[in-house]
Amino acid sequence: MDFETTAVYGVLTTAILGLLYALLLIMQIKKYDEGTEKMRKINRAIFEGAQAYLKRQIKSILIPVAFLAIALYYTAIAADPSIAIGRALAFLMGSTFSASVGYIGMTMAVKGNVRVASAARRSFDEALKIAYRTGTITGMLTDGLGLLGGTIIFIIYGPEKAFEVLLGFGFGGSLIALFMRVGGGIYTKAADVGADMVGKVEAGIPEDDPRNPAVIADLVGDNVGDCAGMAADIFESYEVSIVAAMILGLIAYPGSVKGVIFPLVVRAIGVLSSIVGTYAVSVSGGTHDAMKAIKRGYNLSASISIVSFFLLSYFYMGELAPFFATLSGIILAVLINYQTEYFTSAKYGPVKEIAKSSLTGAATTLLSGLAVGYEATVVAVLLIAGTIVAAGAIFGASYAMVAYGIALAGIGFLTLTGNNVAMDSFGPIADNAGGIGEMADLEPEARKILADLDSVGNTTKAVTKGIAIGSAVLAAISLFNSYFEVTHLAALPLQDPIVFVGVLIGGGIPFLFSAIAIRAVGRGAFQMINEVRRQFREHPEILEGKMEPDYARPVEISTFAAQKELLTLGTIAILTPIIVGFALKEYALGGFLAGAIVSGQLLAVFMAIAGGAWDNAKKYIEDGAYGGKGSEPHKASVIGDTVGDPLKDTAGPALNPMLKVINLITLLVAPTILLYKNDLTVSILVVVVSLIILSIAVWYSRREAELKTS
């Protein structure tokens, strides 16, 4: 066997190794005890709510997925039947993998949280280990399945045809991620806002109080949004960035598979170093510094990776450019972490500024949060621009090489996905464990441990959000570059007004998408508030603690609210590129992609940072600044936090998979658009039908809004 074949099978083995590690962790976690009967009961309610939601969601996306698989098959069959069937199957594989990462990760998170709560009654280290390792399960599933799918397709189809099939794989993953992200985001925020506004603000009961009817929905929401949604999202970035790197690698090194093997092996190295690094997370003695332990594991993984990349680049590629390009992605990840921390941590100026402005009321709190968010997104854009310039400059020469360099930066950026996802899932697990601790009335020491873990979880969640967005943009730019390879456009002249029109329309899409997502949360929260108010009004015994509230109804409301909007948002993401492509042709479509990526990036970071900064300004005040809990500044900061919630947890994160869906749809339909370029009948037909479907979807969402407001 030559080196390439060995390498590919080595990568395949590593992917399976990652999955086995996840399996090992699952078995480990299951062995821990689930605590008292009360804890089990609460956990069962969360488990049932989460399962009910995901089952319903999977059911509601089965038909669109089946339809799209058939469409993918039929649109490709004329060109090449083997690609047609492969692409449809790869699409189903991508969908299934993405859904599985979300589903298994979430299920394990629910199983883990009660065990964390129980372990907190014994020791800090045990609680931390269970929480982090449960998160690592999702991380390793992401790594393992992402690598497995790409490698299998490459082995079956070989360098020539693989990318045609990989597009289907990427599309499946992105589409499911979009649904999981949007659905989970709406679910969790409708429940959260509803629970907070009536429970905390109106009734004055603490967070996670068992008397709040929406408390279970809120806990379920953490799992379906932060856990299932985020996992599917990062899985998709992980998958799409390897797809882009493989496509561009083939073009950058014509006649050789070096450009494909390198990113695959880099990924495999990342998986191995994540296994080592995540397993090392633990605190010794009496210290409670969970963040330090997690960071130590991260640094260990990063060190192993960087050294291995250097060796691989030097000995296999015979040059250091691939190493430096990959390294630039790793450096970007580090810088994005700092940037996120600076703008969202109460340790620095921006959050303090927001907290201070709450002295003069909610309006000034909101204005300063907007300013901070706008500023932060500019910094992020400059960091990404710097990385692109660096990665491009390293490879110099041709567009194809520069594009490959940027794709490698994307690969580098996501090297430690295993660790990142583990950190992210750690958040909702710790959060839920804390909730169970409150509701089950655990010992104060145990609750203190859980509160400490929860606060670390908030930080790790914020950090991974920055990573998710950054990865989306790097992956999107790589896909954008693939667009030119697929369409063979010599140049996409920006001075052509039709390209500019494409950029304008593309720039608008993330705004439209955000508007609908924000409105969906508002509507869900509105119903939730009314339901909680109704329960308190009809059964005053609930607030006295003499009667258990009806937890099931709020769970149903959130589930329903989340499902309703999926269709509209999915339709926008899938149809707008088709409409632009058939109506204004391939040049405008290229501009459309660029516009969507730029405004999507700017909006997504703005939303994530503004939301995080408002949240932490509130916590800063709750910790005693400006009068502390219950003061007027605190009320103002709660309003800021509530506005930020759907921005940072629903609309903002949903933009990542949306960008990728738009990109992949474009790549998939580009050949068809070129084929029917001069056929006016087909073009008009496609545009009109798409517009009708889109109008129905948007009208449906508007109609609901107007019904509610009349």
With both helix axes pointing from N to C terminus, report the angle between 124-194 and 3-31 in degrees, rounded to the nearest 10: 90
Residue 120 Cβ vs its own copies, minimum distance, rounded to whole Å: 33
d(CA 213, CA 536): 9
CA distances for 225 relative to 98, 195, 501, 694, angstroms: 14, 16, 35, 26
- 413 near its own copies, rule: CB under 8 A: no
Site for its own copies in 346-375 (CB under 8 A): 349, 352-353, 356-357, 360-364, 366-368, 370-375
Q: Tell me which of 590, 612, 633, 652 binds its own copies, using CB under 8 A.
A: 590
Residue 434 Cβ vs its own copies, minimum distance, rounded to whole Å: 24
Q: Tell me which of 58, 156, 203, 501 binds its own copies, using CB under 8 A.
A: 501
d(CA 566, CA 64): 11
- 617 near its own copies, rule: CB under 8 A: no
- 706 near its own copies, rule: CB under 8 A: yes
Q: Tell me which of 110, 529, 654, 670 binds its own copies, using CB under 8 A.
A: 529
Instruction: Find the Cα–Cα–Cα–Cα dihedral 467, 469, 471, 477, rounded to 10°.
Output: -160
DSSP state of 400: H
- 601 near its own copies, rule: CB under 8 A: yes
- 496 near its own copies, rule: CB under 8 A: yes
Q: Tell me which of 67, 74, 511, 699 binds its own copies, using CB under 8 A.
A: 511
Residue 683 Cβ vs its own copies, minimum distance, rounded to whole Å: 14
Degrees to nearest 5, angle at CA 488 with 153 and 597: 75
Residue 535 Cβ vs its own copies, minimum distance, rounded to whole Å: 16
d(CA 210, CA 104): 27
- 339 near its own copies, rule: CB under 8 A: no
Residue 581 Cβ vs its own copies, minimum distance, rounded to whole Å: 15
- 489 near its own copies, rule: CB under 8 A: yes
The alpha-helical segments, DSSP class H, found in 545-651 are 552-622, 632-646
- 526 near its own copies, rule: CB under 8 A: yes
Site for its own copies in 631-660 (CB under 8 A): 639, 642-643, 646-647
Residue 370 Cβ vs its own copies, minimum distance, rounded to whole Å: 6
Residue 356 Cβ vs its own copies, minimum distance, rounded to whole Å: 4
Q: Tell me which of 516, 532, 555, 562 binds its own copies, using CB under 8 A.
A: 516
Q: Which is nearer to its own copies, 629 or 703 (CB)?
A: 703
d(CA 95, CA 213): 34
Which helix (H) or strand (E) segment holds residue 471: the answer is: helix 444-487
Residues 6+ apart with CB under 8 A from 669: 75, 577, 578, 581
Residue written as token pair 């109008």: 695
Site for its own copies in 134-193 (CB under 8 A): 193
- 385 near its own copies, rule: CB under 8 A: yes
Q: Tell me which of 77, 280, 381, 567 binds its own copies, using CB under 8 A.
A: 381
- 203 near its own copies, rule: CB under 8 A: no
- 591 near its own copies, rule: CB under 8 A: yes
Q: How far apart are the first and last CA of the chain?
A: 71
Comparing CA positions, the residue from 657, 562, 539, 568 lying closest to residue 225 is: 562
d(CA 510, CA 504): 11
Residue written as token pair 């992980």: 238
Residue 498 Cβ vs its own copies, minimum distance, rounded to whole Å: 7
Site for its own copies in 239-278 (CB under 8 A): none
